[in-house]
Amino acid sequence: MTKNSAPTAVFEDMKPLDGTVILEVGNAQASVCLRLATSFAGKIASELGAKVVKLEPFGGDSVRYAPPFLPSGPDGERSALFKFLNAGKTTLSMPSGSAAARATVDALLSGRVDGVLLEEDSGLKASFAEHPLALVEIAGWPAGMPAITRLSEFTALALGGLLDMIGEPDRKPLRLGGHQASYSAGLSVFTALMALLAERDAGRRPPPARVSLIETAIWLNWKAIAGIDDEGKPPTRQGSQSEFQVVRCLDGWIAVVFSVTQFEKLRDLVNKPALHHEKFATREGRLTHMRELYRYLEPWFAVRTRAEVYHEAQSRGVPLGPVCTPADLITDPQNVARGFIVSLPDAPVSGARVPRLPVLWTGNIRTLTSKLQEMVVL
């Protein structure tokens, strides 16, 4: 038997942003895709200990009414999306009218505020710029481009080229599930915020920072540019011509993932004579005969469960990935051992669970040493 260390908290004593106050300033005119980015960045700050004050635009944050929904609870309290993003924040509502809104902001600024996350708003940006704050502006379009064209997360992925990279070459471009355009921009916002706070620590007044959804999507998609060949042809979605395929197994799906040097291990795992044919011996050969290769691989997976495949593959060092649904993640042994899924306090439904911040932060060497001694070695 092995013993798991199951950290129950991310931090041991003080959190790194304890005492820090961050304002999230919503703009009623801004697209919801900016709100999700702002809220995601604020959520990370909140989990690191910051007091995050969320100023909802007049009429309330529209994300309160956005799916997915919890099965019960009062209207405006049922959005799982809103709950996930905003648990632990202090929420305030902006009054109607720009003068009243500015007065509210001024009143907040008369107290302690270290950072402001602002949805694109040139008027308010100017008034914040008067204060020595860490200010991050969240926008759809890059600076200097006319932002009159409406943007959604989906069109940001299109403009950033990420849509072009996913799916089958002879079918539509495909988006990644969830809110990846906004959340990745939210990660950019959070990192920029940390950089500004560090600049302020050094006794300098930090310049305003700016994050746009389109730029973040392009930045994520840099391999589409690095991979342009000598004839100017960029890589594009490969679908069933890719080395990485998702195949059926008994109880779901497996992502078949392997490097050039891992093919032999995969071949030995599946152990079928046809896989030893010389046309599969090199990467070039495999790319030319990809469909045929998978025709030989697939039957082996079809009669095994995800768990069987995963553990057999890992024992041989092949990085196959069982496709886990969000529900699967809640009971996943690794997530349980690391205390990754935690209860959501003040949820309108009992049993509500969310992922914690994806970092375990150990500042105490003695605790760490005992943790390492307890660690599981399989």
Partner 1 sequence: MRPLANIRVVDFGQLTAGANTSAMLADLGAEVIKVESAGFMDLFRSMGNNRNTVPAWWNRSSQFRFTNRNKRGVALDAKNPDGRRVLQDLIATADVVVENFRRGVLERLGLDYASMAVRNPRIVFASISSQGETGPYRLHTSFGSTLEAMGGVAALTGYDGDKPVVSGPHVNYPDQVASLFATGMIIAALREARRTGKGALLDISQRELTSFLVGEEILAASVDAERVDLPRRGNADEAMVLQDCFLASDGRWIALTIENDIDAERCRAIVGWNEGLGDCVASWCVVRPASEAADVLSAAGLAAALVSDGASLIRDRRLAGETLIWCENGEIVKGRPYSFDDAPLNISRDAPDLGQHTREVLSEVLGLDETAIQHLAELGVTRSEPLEL
The distance of closest approach from Cβ of residue 338 to partner 1 in the complex, given in angstroms and rounded to an integer, is: 5
Opening angle at CA 87, ends 335 and 116, nearest 5? 115
Place of tokens 């909140």: 46
Q: Strand, coil or helix: what is 286?
A: helix
Closer Cβ to partner 1, 243 or 264, answer by number: 243
- Cβ–Cβ < 8 Å for 117, 42: yes
The distance of closest approach from Cβ of residue 332 to partner 1 in the complex, given in angstroms and rounded to an integer, is: 8
The distance of closest approach from Cβ of residue 178 to partner 1 in the complex, given in angstroms and rounded to an integer, is: 4
Q: Is 238 exposed, middle or buried (0-12, 13-18, 19+ CB in 10 A)?
A: middle
The distance of closest approach from Cβ of residue 370 to partner 1 in the complex, given in angstroms and rounded to an integer, is: 10
Closer Cβ to partner 1, 97 or 299, answer by number: 299
Separation of alpha carbons 275 and 79, rounded Å: 49
Q: Is 84 exposed, middle or buried (0-12, 13-18, 19+ CB in 10 A)?
A: middle
Q: How many CB atoms lie under 10 A from the CB of residue 201?
A: 9
The distance of closest approach from Cβ of residue 279 to partner 1 in the complex, given in angstroms and rounded to an integer, is: 21
- What tokens appear for 150 in the block? 């409406």
- Closest of 130, 128, 172 to residue 154, by C-alpha: 172
Q: Report the Cα–Cα distance between both ends of the chain, in Å, rounded.
A: 10
The distance of closest approach from Cβ of residue 159 to partner 1 in the complex, given in angstroms and rounded to an integer, is: 5
Closer Cβ to partner 1, 109 or 357, answer by number: 357
- What tokens appear for 174 in the block? 């495909």
Closer Cβ to partner 1, 234 or 274, answer by number: 234
The distance of closest approach from Cβ of residue 177 to partner 1 in the complex, given in angstroms and rounded to an integer, is: 3
- Cβ–Cβ < 8 Å for 318, 269: yes
CA 378 to the chain's CA centroid = 29
Separation of alpha carbons 144 and 363, rounded Å: 43
The distance of closest approach from Cβ of residue 83 to partner 1 in the complex, given in angstroms and rounded to an integer, is: 6
Place of tokens 């989906």: 154
Closer Cβ to partner 1, 101 or 184, answer by number: 184
The distance of closest approach from Cβ of residue 378 to partner 1 in the complex, given in angstroms and rounded to an integer, is: 6
CA 22 to the chain's CA centroid = 21
Closer Cβ to partner 1, 181 or 275, answer by number: 181
Closer Cβ to partner 1, 103 or 372, answer by number: 372
Indicate the pairing of strand 51-56 with strand 21-25. parallel
Closer Cβ to partner 1, 109 or 187, answer by number: 187
Closer Cβ to partner 1, 110 or 122, answer by number: 122
